Structure 1
Amino acid sequence: MTDVGIITTGLGIAAGLVGLGAIAWEAQFRRRPGNALLLTPGEWNLDVYEPDRYVLVGDVEFRNLTERLEIMVPHVEAEVTLLSKDSLDGITHRIWVTPKHADAPARADGYWFGYIVKVGKTTHAEVTLEIKGPDLSSLQAAWVRIHYITYGPQGRIPKVRHVMVPLKFPSSEDSHRWRPTAAADVLPIRTHLLTHLDDPVTVVKRYVMPHAQPGDVVTIGETPVAIMQDRFHHPSEIKPGWLAKRLCYYFLPTSSLATACGMQTLVNIVGPWRVAGAFLLGAIAKKFLKKPGLFYQLAGEQARLIDDVTGTLPPYDQFIVLGPENPQQVVDQIKRETGLAAAIVDVNDLKAVKVLAATAGLTDEFLTQALISNPAGNADEQTPVVLIRPVKS
């Protein structure tokens, strides 16, 4: 081999080693957590609930999820949108955030000073919302947005934690209009705006049990269950990738996968390779075998359950809501703690009923017959729960 050949070979080997090293370095970087600081939705209480004054207080927690990195929180502030059935004229509010660090007192002037959340540690903040007005009875909920900055190895990253807090709680007596069907009588149950502060069992005990009798069945919509599990994301948090931006064009405009953010949500759940493979095989089956729907079978349950923006009642109409997690465990727990047979369902005004999970003894046929008219509604009825009383033969 000539000197030139030796040099060329050496340079090629060196370039290959550098390339492999760069790939390994990049792979290691991608596995790093970055600014992995979680802000929990927290616990919220109405400390003052008077006709002309509400004081809502939330305790939220910052959690450093990294194993060896410190994450700084140089800035935190909050804003709120009030939701009401009537005009907000004459109603005023103010909202503020107070640090509750174990090792540093809050400043008297309300200034949020930069704070370091140590490795594996947590710290707290208190969010206070005061609302005043001559009559606050029309207020339905408060949509609180906590803006905060994480500062660390990924740089300075602004983030937002969305928290929905109900302000009005209907009485169980507000639900009294039974509706007859061929298989059963059904009662849509009105609730407050369900949020992460709720759980399905507590909701059933509070609103359903006053009406229930032995042998009754309770159903809950899949979207409200997901909301109670905190399974919703604002589109601003979704970063559509190459695949999502292209595939979304091939879905019907009414599909929740027909937008880049909706499709990216599915990609984030099941992975790009599964979505791409499902799309390719689904397209072949539809084009050449005349078998539509294979994509949804291959892409997984969440492909059918994702609700894009405008898919549910305000303020969740601004969010992408996922399908519920572990629905069978949810219905089994309801049955265990209340004695009522239970199901989680997805029902729409097109007379489509999908049963995600049901306790033993309930059949899809019975639930479909009882719910085919969609008694819970798809607008802002705020009746996410339906009590079913089978007709005695």
Structure 2
Amino acid sequence: MQANEGKSLESTVDGITYERLPIKTHVVMDGDDLRSFVKQYAQDVIEPGDVLFVTEKIVAITQGRSMLVSDVEPRPLATFLSKYVKKTPYGIGLGMPETMEMALRECGTPRILAAAGISVISKALGRSGDFYRVAGERARAIDGPTEGTIPPYDESIVLGPEHPERVARDLKILLGNKVDVLIVDINDIGGNILGSTLDDELNDHWVAVLQDNPLGQGAQSTPMGILRKKN
């Protein structure tokens, strides 16, 4: 295994140094079975005591939670709200009508409107981030098309995964309880742990270990990896 370009194989957090080992795979497609996929690529490289981290995107794709942008017809409200979303170099987020439309469907129109209203007030007071705090994880987890992403996901919207905690537990059992499992939403500007077989109080620790996004978010084709403590 080798690091993705621009990333390090090691990270030290709270005095603990971890190797971060990306696992290269084929491109996950709708219809792939997550259990078979993880077993195929991870089972022979994990060691007892490792932590396997899996991107929320491949979990969602194998759950049938991705669609082409061209298949989403946004309502006028989605088009209006998307104009006020801050754009970043790291992804479109809800800043296009189609992804905002999916947020309205996933979270409900009242919640998204409440989030938008509070966001307007908080920005006037010099504070940011309230939109997603109110809208919740289901809105935060929506990924839009990103330049450089492997097709067909350069033209797709991927929603957040269903039941990530359950998925993490299932994968741990699948791998013989030799490792713990994290379902992660990590990008180049931050991250969240969506599902874990470890104590939730450690979530901030794992986000810090992964904060520079060692798997990348483009064409790397490394949708999962291993965290291994160095002796």
Indicate how the Cα distance of structure 1 residues 245 and 361 shifts in structure 2: closer, same or farther if over 3 A, else same: closer
TM-fit CA distance, 1:329: 0.6
Looking at structure 1, the residues matched to 171 and 187 of structure 2 have their Cα atoms a distance apart, in angstroms, of: 23
SS of equivalent to 1:368 = helix
Looking at structure 2, the residues matched to 369 and 262 of structure 1 have their Cα atoms a distance apart, in angstroms, of: 28
Residue in 1 that maps onto 2:6: none
Residue in 2 that maps onto 1:9: none
SS of equivalent to 2:171 = helix
Residue pair 1:349, 1:373 contacting (<8 A) in 2 also: yes
Which one scores higher on RCO, CA 8 angstroms, separation ≥ 6? Answer: 2
Residue in 2 that maps onto 1:260: 97
Looking at structure 2, the residues matched to 359 and 335 of structure 1 have their Cα atoms a distance apart, in angstroms, of: 8
SS of equivalent to 2:83 = helix
TM-fit CA distance, 1:369: 4.0
Residue in 2 that maps onto 1:382: 221
TM-fit CA distance, 1:383: 0.6
Q: How many residues align?
A: 215
Looking at structure 1, the residues matched to 107 and 188 of structure 2 have their Cα atoms a distance apart, in angstroms, of: 29
Looking at structure 1, the residues matched to 219 and 102 of structure 2 have their Cα atoms a distance apart, in angstroms, of: 25
Residue in 2 that maps onto 1:272: 109
Residue pair 1:243, 1:272 contacting (<8 A) in 2 also: no
User: Over residues 14-67 of structure 1, what are the superposed CA-to-partner deviations in whole Å (9 max), with x where a residue is unaligned?
Assistant: xxxxxxxxxxxxxxxxxxxxxxxxxxxxxxxxxxxxxxxxxxxxxxxxxxxxxx
User: Over residues 230-283 of structure 1, what are the superposed CA-to-partner deviations in whole Å (9 max), with x where a residue is unaligned?
Assistant: 101222222211211111111112342111111111112222222112211221
Looking at structure 2, the residues matched to 253 and 266 of structure 1 have their Cα atoms a distance apart, in angstroms, of: 16
Structure 2 residue 51 is the aligned partner of structure 1 residue 217 = yes
Residue pair 1:191, 1:383 contacting (<8 A) in 2 also: yes
Looking at structure 2, the residues matched to 370 and 364 of structure 1 have their Cα atoms a distance apart, in angstroms, of: 10
Residue in 2 that maps onto 1:328: 165
Indicate how the Cα distance of structure 1 residues 308 and 285 shifts in structure 2: closer, same or farther if over 3 A, else same: same
Residue in 2 that maps onto 1:364: 203
User: Over residues 66-91 of structure 1, what are the superposed CA-to-partner deviations in whole Å (9 max), with x where a residue is unaligned?
Assistant: xxxxxxxxxxxxxxxxxxxxxxxxxx
Residue pair 1:200, 1:330 contacting (<8 A) in 2 also: no
Looking at structure 1, the residues matched to 73 and 133 of structure 2 have their Cα atoms a distance apart, in angstroms, of: 25
Larger Rg: 1
Residue in 2 that maps onto 1:294: 130
Looking at structure 1, the residues matched to 123 and 183 of structure 2 have their Cα atoms a distance apart, in angstroms, of: 30
- Of residues 70, 77, 80, the one that matches 1:243 is 77
Structure 2 residue 139 is the aligned partner of structure 1 residue 303 = yes
The 5 Å alignment of 1:127-146 reads none
Looking at structure 2, the residues matched to 372 and 269 of structure 1 have their Cα atoms a distance apart, in angstroms, of: 26
Structure 2 residue 2 is the aligned partner of structure 1 residue 177 = yes
Residue pair 1:180, 1:186 contacting (<8 A) in 2 also: yes
Residue in 1 that maps onto 2:174: 337
Q: CA RMSD in A?
A: 1.9
Indicate how the Cα distance of structure 1 residues 389 and 302 shifts in structure 2: closer, same or farther if over 3 A, else same: same
Letter in 1 for 2:120: A
Looking at structure 2, the residues matched to 271 and 370 of structure 1 have their Cα atoms a distance apart, in angstroms, of: 33
Residue pair 2:106, 2:139 contacting (<8 A) in 1 also: no
| TM-score, structure 1 as length reference | 0.52
Indicate how the Cα distance of structure 1 residues 364 and 240 shifts in structure 2: closer, same or farther if over 3 A, else same: same
Letter in 1 for 2:226: L
Q: Which runs of 4+ in 1 moved over 4 A?
A: none
- Of residues 134, 151, 166, the one that matches 1:314 is 151
User: Over residues 312-343 of structure 1, what are the superposed CA-to-partner deviations in whole Å (9 max), with x where a residue is unaligned?
Assistant: 42111111111111100100101122112000
TM-fit CA distance, 1:310: 2.2
TM-fit CA distance, 1:358: 0.9
Residue in 2 that maps onto 1:226: 60
- Identical pairs, percent: 34
Higher strand share: 1
TM-fit CA distance, 1:291: 2.8
Structure 2 residue 16 is the aligned partner of structure 1 residue 186 = no
SS of equivalent to 1:181 = strand
Looking at structure 1, the residues matched to 2 and 118 of structure 2 have their Cα atoms a distance apart, in angstroms, of: 47
Looking at structure 2, the residues matched to 206 and 324 of structure 1 have their Cα atoms a distance apart, in angstroms, of: 21
SS of equivalent to 1:320 = strand
Residue pair 1:216, 1:388 contacting (<8 A) in 2 also: yes
Indicate how the Cα distance of structure 1 residues 315 and 278 shifts in structure 2: closer, same or farther if over 3 A, else same: same
Residue segments in structure 1 that go unaligned for 5+ positions in a row = 1-175
